[in-house]
Amino acid sequence: MSNRLRWLLAAGLAGLPLLVLAPIRQTTTVRAQGQVLWFADHEGPGEANWYQPAGVNFGGGELNSGCAGTTFTVYDNDPGTPNVVPPPDGGRFGLELRMTAPCGSETVSGTRLFRWKEPIEHPDLYYKVWYYFPRNYRLVGSLDSAFWNIFGWKSKTTDPPRNEVFWHVNVYNRPGDGSMFLQLRNAQTGEAPAPLATINVPVNQWFYLEAYYESRETASGRITIWQGDGENRTLLWDLAGVQTRFSDGWTEWYVSNYSSGLDVQPASIGIDNAEIRLP
């Protein structure tokens, strides 16, 4: 199948397995970052950056399910007001990702922004996006099935046809004060490797996730993830020797607000200044 035909395939998320903490070998060395292949500063209309270079569903796109979608956001540059200020990388516009779950007959809802052009062309890439959480949300529902997903990679195949999440980053709440934290998970096995550092998701301030991902069909891939705020960057996971896509498949990256239910409905988060780089 040609790259162009692959870019035209629709994208969706599979169900997420039970959280299982598991030891996975972690290392601490990654290569320096190189050329920017794609970026989304959202200074144009809406989510147009995600469809580059040739319109809807060519290099990427938006996929919504349940009651969810994106909204174009204008930042207030006055930090003395309660409105959102721009992220540290600047800009005046961004995207709000909003979802309500459950919603009618739909038990989960999500809005997802995908890029598949660059991961198909380059198996080893850096991915980065800024987030803004306006409040401390709490995940509700059964611990066996409740989830809130904001970042991840899918793998697709054509023969047999498969379209599933492979690795992804979820948000959970700590016991006691309910503060939010991130957890990397293997959606194929349920494994959730312990983080290298303890850090919360900040509220009412921008932070970013940055990841290095080696797309491999055998246990020879790599995933490295940092959480940062413009001044500091914390290494959360650095996993070597892991499978990161299906055999005979390809990888797609996404940013999302996708959940089985939060304590406030609708639940919104902001994103901005996403980019994909070569190593």
Residue among 46, 147, 152 at smallest CA distance from 96: 46
Global pTM reads 0.88
Number of C-beta neighbours around residue 12 at 10 A: 15
What local confidence, expressed as pLDDT, does residue 169 receive? 98
Q: What is residue 29's predicted lDDT score, i.e. its pLDDT?
A: 55
- The three-state secondary structure class of 58 is coil
pLDDT for 83 equals 67
Mean pLDDT of 154-161: 93
Complete edge-to-edge strand list for the sheet that includes strand 180-186: 60-65, 109-115, 250-259, 148-158, 161-173, 180-186
Reported confidence tier of residue 82, pLDDT bands at 50, 70, 90:
low
Of the listed ranges 136-145, 186-195, 221-230, the one predicted with least confidence: 136-145
Q: Is residue 31 packed enough to be buried (19+ CB in 10 Å), middle (13-18) or exposed (0-12)? A: exposed
Q: Which residue has the higher pLDDT, 81 or 125?
A: 125
196-234 per-position pLDDT tens digit: 999 999 999 999 999 999 999 999 999 999 999 988 999
Judge whether 74 and 92 are in contact, CB under 8 Å. Answer: yes
Lowest mean pLDDT of 140-149, 190-199, 222-231, name the range.
Answer: 140-149
Comparison of pLDDT for 94 and 20, the residue scoring more:
94
What pLDDT score was predicted for residue 152? Answer: 98
User: Residues 159, 167: contact at Cβ < 8 Å?
Assistant: no
Report whether pLDDT(95) > 90: yes
| Predicted pLDDT at 16 | 31
Instruction: Using the predicted structure, report yes or no on whether residue 44 has a pLDDT greater than 70.
Output: yes
Q: Which residues in 194-216 are b (16+ Cβ under 10 Å) and which e?
A: ebeeebebbeeebbbbbbbbbbb
Q: In the predicted model, what is the mean pLDDT of the chain?
A: 87
Per the CB < 8 A criterion, the answer to whether 250 and 119 are in contact is yes
Least confident of 11-20, 75-84, 133-142, 262-271: 11-20
11 pLDDT band, cuts 50/70/90, is very low
Residue 113: beta bridge partners? 62, 255
Confidence at 134, pLDDT banded by 50, 70, 90: very high
